[in-house]
Structure 1
Amino acid sequence: MTPNYSPDQIEQLFTRADGSYAFARWGRPIAPIVFGVEDETLVTVKGAFEAVATLAGHQMAETDPELGANLMVFFFRDWQELLEVPDLGRMIPDLGPLVARLSAAKASQYRAFRFDDQGAIQAAFVFLCMNSDLAKIPAETLALTQAVQTIVMWGDQAFADMSPLAVLPETGATILRPEIAGVIAAAYDRMMPPAADDKSHALRLFARLQAPVKVEPSEGE
């Protein structure tokens, strides 16, 4: 049986660069929309988000009554393409300077969140610049990684040293690491708050960790 994270390890998953603790989960059903991919990849991406939402015990939806779509995933070749997306500048503050900064840094991905009055995730935006590095990653792996990284708001360096995914040596299948699956499931416990900025939250997550759960994309997702 794979051991769960310690309280200190969980705390680090939600610690920002400035040392503050910040956690948030979705407060409404997730209604995703994906731009810039073929239908086959679209199915894969949505399947990955559905798999992680199922693990969390959270709902998916066709539409959000307020926003239409509240999870937007963009695939593109050049950061400048974002400046041509209608109304995106209205949803992402200072889009022009942000694009310039990400382009200069040769960034491959960026995520932005919006929050409701309770601090829960209200909307998320995922930007994937399909440069040579990202283009080499299988669609299933890339989609599952993004699903994990948007199901809750993680700390800046949560996965800097180790991916949230692992490869099963017996089959070569890509799965969500059991420790991370356990943290996600605990974070969506109905007794847990939708947002937290106190490190004691990590202790509450630790107390609720369940048996490890594996999430594996199925054929055709």
Structure 2
Amino acid sequence: MTEDTIDYTPEAVEAYFTRASGDYVFARWGRPIAPVVFGVTDASMSVIKGAIETAVVIAGAEISETDPELGSNLMMFFFSDWKELLDVPNMGDMIPDLESRVATLIDRNAHQYRAFRFDDDGAIKACFTFVRMGGAMDEVPADVIALSQATQALLLWSDTVFTQDSPLAQTESGAVIRPDVANVLRASYDRVLPSSARDTSHALRLYARLIAG
């Protein structure tokens, strides 16, 4: 898909943020993103942080060394077994009902999970990303995993939008954010738009910016 072939419709734009429940829920970061990564080698660390920086630049968001309230507000954890979360100090403070959540993730054989926290205006103030490696995930290049996770952490996307299709595309030079997704990222971070919304009229404002180029 190239930018010349993207044919946006209001309904397609709305679908990016319409949850399985039918509710339209949009949120972007309302503060600079201060990332930290756990469970990877030094070599993978640089790849992941580079992917985060790439996604942040495309969106027009901001990145920072630290968050004055939380220290780090985008935390990425990589591990081989969901049960490992139960042994992480203070993890229960970040993930309510941690034991039942871990049981559900194991039952679903899930490979990823994200939990967001929001400020008083509904904007994202923190995101906890968890990636379980092993199996088919071991065959996926680190830059692909990192860029996909970074993209999905930058907005409160629909919980169904990337279940079948990756937010990435493959080019001769490697993985990139799909042009349609990259454009939605940019439009979503337009400072004229609110940092959170629950009405589908917001999707129409996004659509207007997308077709205007």
Determine whether 1:60 maps to 2:63.
yes
Instruction: Report deviation, 1:163.
Output: 1.4
User: In the alignment, which residue of structure 2 is the partner of 1:18?
Assistant: 21
Q: Secondary structure at the match of 1:153?
A: coil
> Identity percentage over the alignment?
53
Instruction: Report deviation, 1:4.
Output: 4.4
User: 1:115-130 counterparts in 2 under 5 A?
Assistant: 115-130=118-133
User: In the alignment, which residue of structure 2 is the partner of 1:178?
Assistant: 179
The more displaced of 157-166 and 35-44 is: 157-166
For normalisation by structure 2, the TM-score amounts to 0.95
The more displaced of 104-113 and 23-32 is: 104-113
Q: Deviations over 1:112-143 (max 9, x none)?
A: 00000000001000010102121111000000
Code of the residue aligned with 1:29 in structure 2: it is P
1:43 paired residue among 41, 46, 53: 46
For normalisation by structure 1, the TM-score amounts to 0.92
User: 1:16-165 counterparts in 2 under 5 A?
Assistant: 16-165=19-168
Code of the residue aligned with 2:168 in structure 1: it is L
The more displaced of 98-107 and 32-41 is: 98-107
Following superposition, which runs of at least 4 residues in structure 1 exceed 6 angstroms of deviation? none
Code of the residue aligned with 2:190 in structure 1: it is D
CA–CA separation in structure 2 for the residues paired with 1:31 and 1:4: 34
Code of the residue aligned with 1:117 in structure 2: it is D
Gaps of 5+ in 2: none
User: 1:180-199 counterparts in 2 under 5 A?
Assistant: 180-199=181-200
Gaps of 5+ in 1: 213-221
Contact 2:78/2:131 (8 A) holds in 1? yes
CA–CA separation in structure 2 for the residues paired with 1:204 and 1:167: 29
CA–CA separation in structure 2 for the residues paired with 1:78 and 1:160: 21
Q: Deviations over 1:134-181 (max 9, x none)?
A: 11110000000001101000001111232111112xx25211111111
CA–CA separation in structure 2 for the residues paired with 1:130 and 1:142: 10
Contact 1:182/1:210 (8 A) holds in 2? no
Q: Secondary structure at the match of 1:209?
A: helix
